[in-house]
Amino acid sequence: MMRSMYSGVSGLKTHQTKMDVIGNNIANVNTVGFKSSSVTFQDIMYQTTKRASGANALTGTGGVNATQIGLGVTTGAITTNISTEGASQTTGNPFDIKISGDSFFIVNDGVSNYFTRSGAFYVDGSGNLAMTSTGYNVMGWKVENGEIKQDTVSSLKIMAPENLTSAPEATEAAQITGILDKFSTDLSATGSGKVINLTFYDKLGYSYTAKFTITDPDPDVDDGAFEVTLTDILDSNGDSIVTAANSGEFTFDGVGIGSTTTLQYDTTDGSFTSVGSGAGDAVTLSFGTLGNFSDISIDFSGSKSVNNEATNTIGATAGDADGNYAGKTLGKMTGITIQPNGTIYGVYSNGSPKLLGQIAVAEFSNASGLEKMGENIYAATLNSGAFDGIGIDISANGGSMETGALEMSNVDLSAEFTEMITTQRGFQANSRIITTSDTLLEELVNLKR
């Protein structure tokens, strides 16, 4: 009777443990990135009152099974349902990140690395990407020479002073495209020529305007040849930075360049002069020691001289055919974008993206072996597998990151309430064991009366 009573007590304790786990699951039904747990029971031990015996061929008797009395139940394991993803909740916050796959974010409290599925992040006062709840720094890889270096993880200081601006770039290429009609008013015998303005930048990001004039030196002869003259270069205030007009000329026949390949700045008279000769599609505007400029290759291949009802559409734009080398002014950070693979880019007012770092993730051979530390974080254990300090690119194993969303708890309320019912009934049944055993003991005491 005492054995049955203590078995009942063990049943009450174990079912209470299960109820505690269920209660914790339900309490965290709206906790970001929470993973539910489940309890597995196991019997404790047995008292053997009679051992098993084998068959006896001499006497012809059979074997007898052991006689054992169980002594109750205990908690066998509490398992975290870590592989099931929670539902996605859209937040619209660009620093909220939902992680898919079996990976974990890596965070650091200043001493140790921990792991989390909660992607509710923000940028703290030091410019670091951090958890909103604990302030732990989000870990990842830094940029070296414009590329991600996958080395030991460190905090992602995406708002470092050097990241708040994007460096200016000098213009190195330009295009003159469109139609030049020989019979337009600009190119007639009385016309002053077709004026084209090219806006470009120096290495410090200052803006300038190069003024070109296209004329037909012999409008009465239909030879398709035109003269292009660099007439002036103006700064952003409209002041000329060269001293001589008609600085340099070259011929252009609507198909290619015919008489010069370079307009070279001459420091002796402060003007540009035509240098070299040959055929091609581009003219180089070479500044020499003037200012902080880079040489600009001006491509004419996109222009042609055809009948366009006496209308000119020819014009100049900075950059090559792909929009590269157009030059830029100093850019100020206007936003942050995080790609599905965790790479972080700064967005700047000059339109130039800048790679700032990459969020690294960790994977474990037995993620269920991670130890819950509270505050939505886990620690590695001997049974989870060690973290190598470097991490992996989330896209390497097919995972991804989604910004503006969070992973919600994976608690299934319908399953939890079902488990609650069976746990309650189990607790009630074990309490009946105790009360019934007590009644039997009372009857035993009453034998003396």
CATH number at residue 209: 2.60.98
> Quick one: 303 and 341 in the same domain?
no
Last residue within a domain, chosen from 262, 287, 318 = 318
Secondary structure E strands in 152-236: 154-155, 165-166, 173-179, 194-201, 207-215, 226-235
Q: Which of 267, 270, 205, 194 is nearest to 235 (CA)?
A: 205
**Which residues form the domain of 19?**
2-83+410-446
> Quick one: 201 and 287 in the same domain?
yes
> Quick one: 37 and 121 in the same domain?
no
Dist. CA 377–CA 371, nearest whole Å: 9
> Quick one: 256 and 184 in the same domain?
yes
Q: Which residues contact 229 (CB under 8 A, 6 or more apart)?
A: 193, 212, 213, 214, 215, 246, 247, 248, 249
Distance of CA 222 to the CA centre of its chain: 60
> Quick one: 92 and 53 in the same domain?
no
Helix H or strand E segment including 435: helix 413-446
> Quick one: 288 and 305 in the same domain?
yes
In a domain? residue 344: yes
Overall domain count for the chain = 3
In a domain? residue 324: no
Cα–Cα distances (Å) from 363 to 10, 28, 78, 430, in that order, read: 38, 24, 21, 42
> Quick one: 258 and 301 in the same domain?
yes
In a domain? residue 326: no
> Quick one: 396 and 356 in the same domain?
yes
> Quick one: 180 and 289 in the same domain?
yes
What is the C-alpha R_g of the chain? 40
In a domain? residue 325: no
Q: Which pLDDT tens digits describe the chain residue by residue (449 residues)?
A: 578 888 999 999 999 999 999 999 999 999 999 999 999 999 998 889 899 999 988 888 899 999 999 899 999 999 999 989 999 999 999 999 999 989 999 999 999 999 999 999 999 999 999 999 999 999 999 999 889 999 999 999 999 998 999 999 999 999 999 998 888 888 887 778 999 999 999 999 999 999 999 988 877 777 678 889 999 999 999 999 988 655 677 887 777 787 778 888 888 888 888 887 767 888 999 999 888 999 999 999 888 888 899 999 999 999 999 999 999 999 999 999 999 999 999 999 998 889 999 999 999 999 999 999 999 999 999 999 999 999 999 999 889 999 999 999 999 999 999 999 999 999 999 999 999 888 888 888 888 76
